[in-house]
Amino acid sequence: MTDEIPRPSDFIREIITEDQKTGKYEKRVHTRFPPEPNGYLHMGHAKSICLNFGIAQEFSGRCNLRFDDTNPEKEEQEYVNSIIDSVTWLGFDFGPEPFYASDYFDFMHRAAEYLISAGNAYVDSQSADEMRESRGTLTAPGKNSPFRDRSAEENLRLFREMREGRHADGAMVLRAKIDMASPNINMRDPAIYRIKRAEHHRTGDKWCIYPMYTYAHPIEDALENITHSICTLEFEDQRPFYDWLLERLAEGGLFRRPLPQQIEFARLNLSYTVLSKRKLIQLVNEGYVKGWDDPRMPTISGIRRRGYTPESIRNFCERIGVAKRDSMVDLGLLEFCIREDLNKRASRIMAVLRPLKVVLTNYPEEQEEVLDAINNPEDAAAGTRKVPFSRVLYIEQGDFREDPPKQFFRLAPGREVRLRYAYFITCEKVVRHEKTGEVIELHCSYDPATRGGDAPDNRKVKATLHWVSARHAVRAEVRLYDTLFTKAEPGEESGDFRADINPGSVEVLDSCFVEPSIANAGPGSRYQFERMGYFCVDKDSAGDKPVFNRTVTLKDTWAKIEKAKK
């Protein structure tokens, strides 16, 4: 009998388990997470991170963090730093240092010269338009380039001239020599090197030719002794070239067998969200959001700022599992995971977002009390805190109705309710603004015998309200976030995802009040505002006015839907 926690089961783990049994890689498991540093990581990347690092942990292997920095025009050190931070925040260890494709540029160049010498690559001087026309279609084969039969000597000479900067950008490319009639367009002599005069964030101006991603990636895997190269489904059609390239280089003695194997899985699609880096860049550059870490963004930095925990993200990725076909995941499942996590760990706090003044007319004006409040009913070890109480309080505007409907059980004229941890109060008078007629103040009486929230005569009330003492309250700004899009699949109907942007995706309330106990809470601190939702302190907090982001509401629609299915 064993106490081991069973591993998740999916087709990728089944492949690895079989490889372990046969000793294909001498029972080694070595994966990698290879982002391009041209943007911030998003939830789709989080799924890949959890999968690659998770598999490595489960099989006592290793996982490399490797930057595929082969496109210097779009890559920046800022993105490198953010990616390292996101992987670390999610709780994964990639070792002393990350790897970089640029570390292997010299080897890739030598490998390209070997392919030329072996007759497996040639320099093509066609224009980009000519190459595009000769490539063919899904139903028609391509046509050989007029330069395809250049001698190895001439191709080497031209490739070295490319390396020396003797030709203009776009004047020629190096192509693999495979089969222009292949039914897989990716095998029709794909380009593997291009001329690009651009400063690289790591190598500077050392190179004016750069390898294409599809050429660089399998070489990086082989050099790092990767066993299982786990990619998303869009790379499935590239797998034949992945295998072809490594086989050719192994034939020349550049790599030893067994070679890495590429395995594809379905990427994450999340409702009311876009997980395309191109679209996320548009949102940032066109000003729809306030940067990559805007709490409405599905970037790891964005959801982190919103208040999500690494544990909730890992749990979400485990729940959605790994599939071979694309599908849409309900955003409600992600929200369920963060509620489930924060319910266990977040301290409860009373906060009033839309304040309505309440004066307890029979409570002594100068008197103050300190009441005991439970920090977290799910965690006895969290203990209690002291909450100040005084004559003037704030409650939520929505907790009072002058003419209440039948199912409204909260405060109304002549009605008694409970104040959380405090007393029973009864509304006796409504004060209005002399010009607008708006209700601005309630005069209530309190029952001193009900301290702690229970009546000695066992009389019952139908509602318990949260509150904040006006004398002790700390003014705060609260940002209420909703989905960034109004449609589950943005752009599906209009063709432009931006047409479905939610104009009410954030509401800023700048006259809220919170308990004094969290006045100086640091950025990232998480709380449940009782009856209001889960919130975290934003980095914009400054001085004596904290700023809170709503992470998620208390309402859990996903769990109700799942329960109904059963």
Q: Is 135 a catalytic residue?
A: no
CA dist., res. 117 & res. 150, Å (int): 11
Q: What is the CATH number of domain 277-347+476-565?
A: 2.40.240.10
Q: How far is CA 449 from CA 330, 395, 506, in A?
A: 49, 21, 43
Note the pLDDT of residue 542. Answer: 82
Note the pLDDT of residue 255. Answer: 97
Taken in order 178, 182, 186, 190, the sign of the CA dihedral is positive
Which tokens in the block code for residue 161?
């001239």
Neighbour order of strands in the sheet with 99-100: 30-33, 62-67, 99-100
DSSP 138-207: SSS-----TTTT--HHHHHHHHHHHHTT-S-TTS-EEEE-S-TT-SSGGGSS-EEEEE----BTTTBTS-
pTM: 0.92
Note the pLDDT of residue 311. Answer: 98
Q: 267, 354, 385, 531: which one is catalytic?
A: 267
Q: How far is CA 154 from CA 119, 147, 151, 225, in A?
A: 11, 10, 5, 34
Q: Which residues lie closer than 8 Å to 410 by C-beta, 6 or more apart? A: 399, 400, 401, 404, 417, 463, 465
Domain 351-466 belongs to what architecture? Answer: Beta Barrel (2.40)
Q: Is 339 a catalytic residue?
A: no
> Is the separation of the CB atoms in 436 and 442 below 8 Å?
no
CA dist., res. 517 & res. 320, Å (int): 38
Q: Is 74 a catalytic residue?
A: no
Q: 188, 277, 348, 391: which one is catalytic?
A: 277
Q: 36, 477, 530, 562: which one is catalytic?
A: 36
pLDDT tens digit sequence for 47-67: 999 999 999 999 999 999 999
Element (H, E) at 212: none
Q: How far is CA 305 from CA 486, 502, 519, 525, in A?
A: 22, 20, 19, 10
11-265 fold: Rossmann fold (3.40.50)
Where in the chain are all domains bearing CATH 3.40.50.620? Answer: 11-265
Where in the chain are all domains bearing CATH 2.40.240.10? Answer: 277-347+476-565, 351-466
The stretches in the chain having pLDDT less than 70 are: 1-7, 556-566
Element (H, E) at 457: none
Q: From the CB of residue 435, how many other CB atoms can be counted at a distance below 10 Å?
A: 6
460 by Cβ neighbours in 10 Å (0-12 / 13-18 / 19+) ranks as exposed
Note the pLDDT of residue 562. Answer: 53
Cis peptide bond prior to 546, omega within 30° of 0: no
User: Could you tell me which of 85, 48, 526 has the C-alpha nearest to residue 306?
Assistant: 526
Question: Reduced to 3 states, what is the DSSP secondary structure of residue 362?
Answer: coil
